[in-house]
Chain A
């Protein structure tokens, strides 16, 4: 604090409480709606006090599903988990290896390989959906987890971060390892990998959330409802024809369920996540 200023101190709390309300209010209303009966939600204005149907609503949503397609939300949660883990673990393992190759070796076509990978930094899957869809369907990967995960792994963000991190590793470590006669993979396993743990943890959080939150690609790739992730499933529960056709209390229970896992990952790993996000993306 630079100086004393009572007025500013009061203003600080007013602004921050407003900020917290801005974030918390929609989530709170959603939670309340998920504890009411369908009729109670339909009464405008809806009550702000949680109701008594919490257990019922969540049980119906988890075990039976909501709306026309009616796949159990439990199933959707499993699909989302597979998607998020597939993308985060897949991306991390593919990227760390290629970053290792690009930084620690000299070989023919190194420059070309480097540019082939890094040009993908720029183009998200959204801009090339049509042709990517065609490739995936030619490979027979429509309605498979592989088809959902692989095109999203084809991006160099993680490779770039690992490369930046490897470049800051002191030269002496590789030199010493080489003098001691370590093979490249031994150096990787016993020195580089332990040093990368913080970056891996941060990337895991970022990519897990990225994977969990995927929407457009899974929407296109899964016509089989058994593979639908929860983020896509929620929007399909909302009827476009009229509000009466939507079981809002169950939809809201599903929304809460969809938010818990990524929020949990962020809370649990907040320290690494914030550090990793800010240090690596700059």
Chain B
């Protein structure tokens, strides 16, 4: 889409663009280029010598069991976060949409986690699930569950998945509620007259009509669980116990800043960039398609 009416100036537009272009070049293009460049070299820990390595860094990564483990952890984590977050939010939104009064009040409360920082959300839940003094851990112990996420990797992964999904419920909820409100009531009434009960109406009318919203949220939640969850992991488990909650972003940070493996960390960054670019392209193509119908 383009404007028909435009101003004919030569220098003004460049001047207007200058701040953004400068910031983008310095803090985006140079670092991103550097990551690409470094990913092709091997560097010693002191940064004294660099040696061209071609695609060796990538080859090393994909034969490194700890990287493949991080990949698997990320897959389990992001699928878990997305499914849990979307299904909880959709359930809440569907019921909230049924309300005649109190809708705004319910929305105001459910929106709250949106304002809470991932790190803070991590601390909130970590306190409840703390093995020795947490309230929920106490209840779990009463029920006979041996809860200790500091020692048990599966429990740790479940905990961070739950926290990450919890944090994302409000965002998903807002979009689902808006999506539900835009479904024409006449459709549902017609189906009801034809004898479809609410459960059936949901799966045959509501859910299909929500597909665009769901798809959009699917991508957003995937990207969220890949990157924005860093703070949750760092606050709650720091990748542990062992490496059981080390997702890819956390590994980039660990290997780069703690392990000082510059080339390896850069190669990991490049792979992550590729993943996000693919996700974004999928989303853009989808948006374009939706505009046309």
Contacts and interface: CB of A to CB of B under 8 A. Distances in A.
Interface of A: 1-3, 5, 8-9, 11-12, 15-16, 19-20, 22-24, 26-27, 29-30, 33, 41-46, 94-95, 97-98, 100-107, 110, 113, 116-117, 120-124, 126-132, 134-136, 139, 150-151, 153-156, 159, 167, 171, 174-175, 178, 184-185, 187, 209, 212-213, 215-216, 219-220, 231-232, 234-235, 238, 240, 243, 248, 251-252, 255, 258-259, 262-263, 265-267, 270, 274, 277-278, 282
Given A131-B31, A270-B108, A265 B120 contact: no
Nearest to A21: B109
Nearest to B255: A130
A104 to B, nearest CB: 6
B34 A131 contact: yes
Given A20-B106, A132-B31, A216 B231 contact: yes
Interface in B1-58: 1, 3-10, 12-14, 16-17, 19-21, 23-32, 34-35, 38
B34 A134 contact: yes
Contact of A127 (B8, B235, B269): B269
A46 B135 contact: yes
B252 interface: yes
A215 B253 contact: no
Nearest to A41: B133
Given A106-B8, A234-B123, A235-B119, 14 more contacts: A98-B16, A98-B20, A102-B17, A103-B3, A104-B6, A106-B6, A128-B31, A130-B265, A220-B257, A262-B116, A262-B117, A267-B108, A270-B108, A270-B111
Contact of B257 (A120, A123, A130, A215): A130
B227 interface: yes
Interface stretch (B64-72, B75-83, B185-193): B185-193
A82 to B, nearest CB: 16
B95 A154 contact: no
B266 interface: yes
Given A117-B24, A129-B256, A248-B133, A259 B120 contact: yes
Contact of B127 (A45, A139, A235, A248): A248
Contact of B19 (A42, A94, A156, A282): A94
B262 to A, nearest CB: 7
A63 B83 CA distance: 43
B112 A258 contact: no
B110 A97 contact: no
B32 A123 contact: yes
B198 A215 contact: no
Given A235-B123, A266-B115, A124 B132 contact: no
Contacts of B145: none
B109 A2 contact: no
Nearest to B261: A130
A24 B111 CA distance: 11
Interface residue SS majority, chain B: helix
Interface of B: 1, 3-10, 12-14, 16-17, 19-21, 23-32, 34-35, 38, 88, 91-92, 95-96, 98-100, 106-120, 122-128, 130, 132-135, 137-139, 166, 169-170, 174-175, 178, 185, 188-189, 192, 198, 201, 216, 227-228, 230-231, 234-235, 238, 249, 252-253, 256-257, 262, 265-266, 269, 272-273, 276-277, 280, 287
A27 B112 contact: yes
A192 to B, nearest CB: 12
Q: What 3 A-B pairs have minimum CB-CB distances, sorted nearest first?
A: A213-B117, A215-B231, A131-B31
Contacts of A274: 107, 111, 174, 178
A20 B30 contact: no
B123 A266 contact: no
Given A19-B92, A26-B125, A258-B117, A105 B253 contact: no
B117 A231 contact: yes
B128 to A, nearest CB: 6
Contact of B7 (A97, A122, A178): A178
A79 B17 CA distance: 29
A178 B3 CA distance: 14
B92 A15 contact: yes
Contacts of B5: 171, 174-175, 178
Contact of A29 (B16, B32, B127, B137): B127
B159 to A, nearest CB: 13
B7 A130 contact: no
